[in-house]
Amino acid sequence: MVHGPSAMDFKMKKHLLLTGGTGLIGSSLTRQLLDKGYTVSHLSRSHGKDPRVKTFLWDVHKGQIDEHCIDGVDMIIHLAGAAIAENRWTAERKKEMIESRSKSIQLIYSLLKTKKHRVKSVISASAIGYYSDRGEELMTEESPPFIDFMAGCCVEWEAAVDEGKQLGLRIAKFRTGVVLDEGGALPKMALPVKLYVGAPLGSGRQWIPWIHVQDVIGMYLFAIENEHFEGVYNMVAPNPVTNKQLTQAIAKQLHKPLWLPNVPAFLLKLLLGEMNTIVLGSTKVSAKKIEATGYKFVYPEVSQALKAIYG
């Protein structure tokens, strides 16, 4: 069980710097942190629009960062990273996906080494891509990484974050599953169902480690507010579902029929190339470690999560 000061103790004095603060998770986390009374700053490639959030500019590719971004900061939340499923995985795109995650945090660490600061903790995203396609095997935080691009990307990402241990920082990492929210992956999964052409992908038996966005935010807040929380944790709901089960749950919530046969795996491989592992890979992931800390899931069942989103 993780113990620590109350949320009230933290929010009165904590200043958090977020990378990736304008993304799906970052924007939602920022709003909740501000509502709780935290001071929040962003590191971004462009100026922000929220007057409550001070934005500092950086360019990871050029190795440029505003040195004042860490002034008065107690904790860094590292969410930055090029989208996994936005473009085909060309060699150039793969490089961008890795460097946007690893070089970005290394750029911050370089600044921490040369400038006086009070940063004590780094809480970072990672991904269940660390395990990749593992069939029916249940993955825990102790499971070894797979050997493919996505797993390699996550290994480099986590290794870069762990460099902060040499600076005496508390490090916590969340291997995040498929986040269910009004944005992100869910609308893309739901659109064919809404158009009456929904169907499971491939065999439909591949496991999907999902999580509702409210539990994603809940876990970050849990890590932020407990100074002794550290290490790596799977950020997934305790009840994974197969692709077929998730498709059926979406159809049931939207009151739409499923009548088409499964989308053939060979077609998805043809359309997506190497990126097909995102939809055809099977990753069954355990949430027991995060549950053992005392974190209580708001949405442990996928039907509850979908009802909250589409309710």
Q: Pull the structure tokens for residue 195.
A: 């158009």
pLDDT of residue 13: 65
In CATH, what number is assigned to the domain containing residue 198? 3.40.50.720
Domain count, the chain: 1
- Give the mean pLDDT of 225-247: 96
Q: Which of 258, 239, 263 is nearest to 248 (CA)?
A: 258
Asked if residue 207 is part of any domain, the answer here is yes
Q: What's the one-letter identity of residue 215? A: D
Instruction: Express as a percent the part of the chain with pLDDT over 90.
Output: 78
Asked if residue 157 is part of any domain, the answer here is yes
Q: Do residues 219 and 174 lie in contact, with contact meaning Cβ atoms separated by under 8 Å?
A: yes
Per-residue 3-state assignment (H helix, E strand, C coil) for 289-309: HHHHCCCCCCCCCHHHHHHHH
Question: Tens of pLDDT along 192-227?
Answer: 999 999 999 999 999 999 999 999 999 999 999 999
Kindly report the length of the chain: 311
Asked if residue 1 is part of any domain, the answer here is no
pLDDT at 32 over 90: yes
Q: Which of 162, 97, 71 is nearest to 124 (CA)?
A: 162
pLDDT of residue 211: 97
pLDDT at 1 over 70: no
Asked if residue 226 is part of any domain, the answer here is yes
- Give the mean pLDDT of 269-284: 80
Asked if residue 55 is part of any domain, the answer here is yes
Q: Do residues 38 and 98 lie in contact, with contact meaning Cβ atoms separated by under 8 Å?
A: no
pLDDT of residue 216: 98
**Global pTM exceeds 0.85:** yes
Segments forming the whole domain that contains residue 41? 7-310
- Give the mean pLDDT of 124-130: 96
In angstroms, the CA 263 to CA 266 distance is: 9
Angle between the 243-254 and 185-194 helix axes, to the nearest 10 degrees?
A: 60
Question: Tens of pLDDT along 140-154?
Answer: 999 999 999 999 999
Question: Tens of pLDDT along 92-103?
Answer: 988 999 998 999
Average pLDDT over the chain, rounded to an integer: 92
- Give the mean pLDDT of 238-256: 96
CB atoms within 10 A of CB 161: 26
pLDDT of residue 12: 56
Binned at pLDDT 50, 70 and 90, residue 273 comes out as: confident
pLDDT of residue 67: 96
Alpha helices (H) in 36-173, listed in sequence order: 91-114, 149-162
Asked if residue 194 is part of any domain, the answer here is yes
In angstroms, the CA 36 to CA 32 distance is: 6
- Give the mean pLDDT of 302-310: 96
In angstroms, the CA 17 to CA 40 distance is: 6
How far separated are the first and last CA of the chain, in Å rounded?
34
Asked if residue 66 is part of any domain, the answer here is yes
Asked if residue 2 is part of any domain, the answer here is no
In angstroms, the CA 103 to CA 90 distance is: 19
| Residues contacting 40, CB < 8 A, separation 6+ | 15, 16, 17, 18, 21, 30, 33, 34, 52, 53
In angstroms, the CA 240 to CA 243 distance is: 10
Question: Tens of pLDDT along 68-101?
Answer: 999 999 999 999 988 887 778 899 988 999 998 9
pLDDT at 5 over 70: no
Angle between the 302-310 and 243-254 helix axes, to the nearest 10 degrees?
A: 40
- Give the mean pLDDT of 168-191: 93
Q: What's the one-letter identity of residue 279? A: V
Choice among 34-38, 85-89, 236-240, 294-298 with the minimum mean pLDDT: 85-89
pLDDT of residue 232: 98
207 phi and psi, to 5 degrees? -80, 140
Ramachandran bin of 6, using left for φ above 0, alpha for ψ from -120 to 50, beta for the remaining angles? beta
